[in-house]
Amino acid sequence: MSRIIRATVTPILISDPPLLNVLGVHQPYTPRTIVEIETDDGVTGIGETYGDTDYLDVARKLADALPGRDLTAMNGLYALASATLSGATDKVKEFDPAGLRGTRNNEKLIRSVVSAFEVASLDALGKTTGLPVHCLLGGKVRDRVDYSGYLFYRWAEHPDGEAPDDWGAALDPDGVVRQAQRFADDYGFTSFKLKGGVFEPEQEIAAIKALAKAFPGYPLRLDPNGGWSVEASVRVAEEVGDLLEYMEDPTAGVDGMAEVRKRTGAVLATNMCVTTFAEVPEAFAKDAVQVVLSDHHYWGGLQATRELAALCRTYGVGLSMHSNTHLGISLAAMTHVASVIPHLSYACDSHRPWQTEDVITEPHRFVGGALEVSDAPGLGVELDRDALAALHERWLTRPDMRDRDDVAAMRKVHPDWVQPSLPRW
């Protein structure tokens, strides 16, 4: 039995383009947390999760509690984290304005942190046993995992010119189609999701129509992060519902989603109104969501994602996968868990093509819009220590970027910007 001798938590800041959403715009740098778990066999496993200060505080405390524990004791991580933190997380806000991640409470915060430690443990266990993570999860049912091209309205550059890239602006239907074309050319994506809630619904309807014309037959999704009223959602469903494989969080809250469903019959997906197990019964009973977007970070890890999959399967609800700005360790974990869930029948989301940096030695490359599932031991990726050190150094020197805040980032360009209340339209 392997024992943990050390757990290390390294906060980093990664470059992020000026991607727009219902609340504002991404900052030039986004925080992530990298976790390393070393065992007495001389093996190190790695994991990744959100990096905002609240997450980091929890991760550091959990890391301190790990030495001496059995590496395989992953089902006990949540209880350990809760016990370590009891009374320490009361400051957590109920709603996270920066991340658009739905309910935020202590349980979800702890699960998000535990996910990185579970993944690091599975990586270490895989390296110790010579087995890939998908084998530790019961074995893959597919060799390739499909991803969807994640389109954003965006500016050409951040106001201060930081973290530049060569994508240019996309602020109208032509710009969105150009962006999709580059995604298709470079990575072969055969389905697209457009992050909406940025402009009036009519403009986003026009973008979806333009995408459908340029890419006939491609599955399309539109996600305004709860930015529309029920009436606006119904209008969008009437206009472009037949072009969309699902509408993602058209309106905020279970009751609004249930009404949109009742009035339009549209397939509705969410990563906002069902992001915890406690939210499942009401949402399913009210038929408010037909597809849950799993996210192994905030559902609590790869095993927890399988538990969610079983629930969805039982209730006839579809499963797809959400992403937030992330690097290759998370992408490897997403790909392993997606490969073992028969029920995961939609292309997964990934922000990764927007990132120009990584902390792994051989960053993934999407081919035909998909990633091969690695059969190498563990996650099948190696930490690039120089890159990790450089991104950590940025974290040390940029305390202003340590918490993602899309509202504050927008205020740099529009000084009067306040967090829009939902629905915006």
Ligand X SMILES: O=C([O-])C(=O)C[C@H](O)[C@@H](O)C(=O)[O-]
Q: Which residues bind Mg ion (CB under 5 A)?
A: 223, 248, 271
Nearer to ligand X, 396 or 418 (CB): 418
Closest distance between ligand X and the C-beta of residue 100, in Å?
4
d(CA 65, CA 363): 31
Q: Which of 322, 326, 351, 364 is catalytic?
A: 322
Nearer to ligand X, 78 or 187 (CB): 187
Neighbouring residues of 400: CB distance < 8 A, sequence distance ≥ 6: none
Token pair, residue 95, equals 């709603």
Q: Is 352 in the site for ligand X (CB under 6 A)?
A: no
User: Which candidate, 41, 45, 58, 39, places its Cα nearest to that of 121?
Assistant: 45
Sheet holding 4-15, edge to edge: 4-15, 29-39, 44-50
Closest distance between Mg ion and the C-beta of residue 110, in Å?
22
Closest distance between ligand X and the C-beta of residue 308, in Å?
16
Position of minimal CB gap to ligand X? 21
Return the H-helix or E-strand segment holding 151.
Answer: strand 144-152
Total residues at interface with ligand X (CB under 6 A): 12
Whether 248 and 221 have beta carbons less than 8 Å apart is answered as: yes
Nearer to Mg ion, 118 or 248 (CB): 248
Nearer to ligand X, 34 or 100 (CB): 100
d(CA 98, CA 419): 10
Q: Tell me if residue 414 is catalytic.
A: no
Nearer to ligand X, 132 or 423 (CB): 423
Token pair, residue 190, equals 């055969």
User: Binding string to ligand X for residues 224 to 263, with x set by CB under 6 A, is what?
Assistant: -x--------------------------------------
Contacted entry of Mg ion, ligand X, none for residue 381, CB cut-off 5 to 8 Å set by kind? none
d(CA 320, CA 323): 10
Q: Is 21 in the site for ligand X (CB under 6 A)?
A: yes
Q: Is 221 in the site for ligand X (CB under 6 A)?
A: no
d(CA 125, CA 157): 42
Q: Which of 127, 195, 296, 297 is catalytic?
A: 195
Which member of 54, 107, 223, 384 binds ligand X (CB under 6 A)? 223
Q: Is 154 in the site for ligand X (CB under 6 A)?
A: no
Return the H-helix or E-strand segment holding 221.
Answer: strand 220-223
Q: In the window 85-114, what residues touch ligand X (CB under 6 A)?
A: 99-100
Nearer to ligand X, 78 or 354 (CB): 354
Contacted entry of Mg ion, ligand X, none for residue 195, CB cut-off 5 to 8 Å set by kind? ligand X
Nearer to Mg ion, 223 or 358 (CB): 223
Q: Give the range of 77-85, 235-243, 275-283, 322-330 binding ligand X by CB under 6 A.
A: 322-330
**Taking the C-alpha atoms of 301, 77, 65 and 113 in order, what is their torsion angle to the nearest 10 degrees?**
30
Q: Is 306 in the site for ligand X (CB under 6 A)?
A: no
Contacted entry of Mg ion, ligand X, none for residue 118, CB cut-off 5 to 8 Å set by kind? none
Which member of 39, 324, 330, 374 binds ligand X (CB under 6 A)? 324
Closest distance between ligand X and the C-beta of residue 334, in Å?
13
Q: Is 19 in the site for ligand X (CB under 6 A)?
A: yes
Whether 244 and 221 have beta carbons less than 8 Å apart is answered as: yes
Q: In the window 186-205, what residues touch ligand X (CB under 6 A)?
A: 195
Sole residue written with tokens 């997964």: 348
Angle at 413 between CA 407 and CA 414, to 5 degrees: 70
Nearer to Mg ion, 127 or 193 (CB): 193
d(CA 264, CA 260): 6
Whether 117 and 7 have beta carbons less than 8 Å apart is answered as: yes
d(CA 129, CA 173): 50
Closest distance between ligand X and the C-beta of residue 42, in Å?
38
Whether 183 and 192 have beta carbons less than 8 Å apart is answered as: yes
DSSP strands (E only) in 370-411:
370-372
Q: Tell me if residue 286 is catalytic.
A: no
Token pair, residue 81, equals 């984290």
Closest distance between Mg ion and the C-beta of residue 328, in Å?
22
SS3 407: helix
How would you classify the pairing of strands 220-223 and 192-195?
A: parallel
Residues with catalytic function:
195, 322
Residues in contact with ligand X by CB under 6 A are 19, 21, 99-100, 195, 223, 225, 271, 322-325
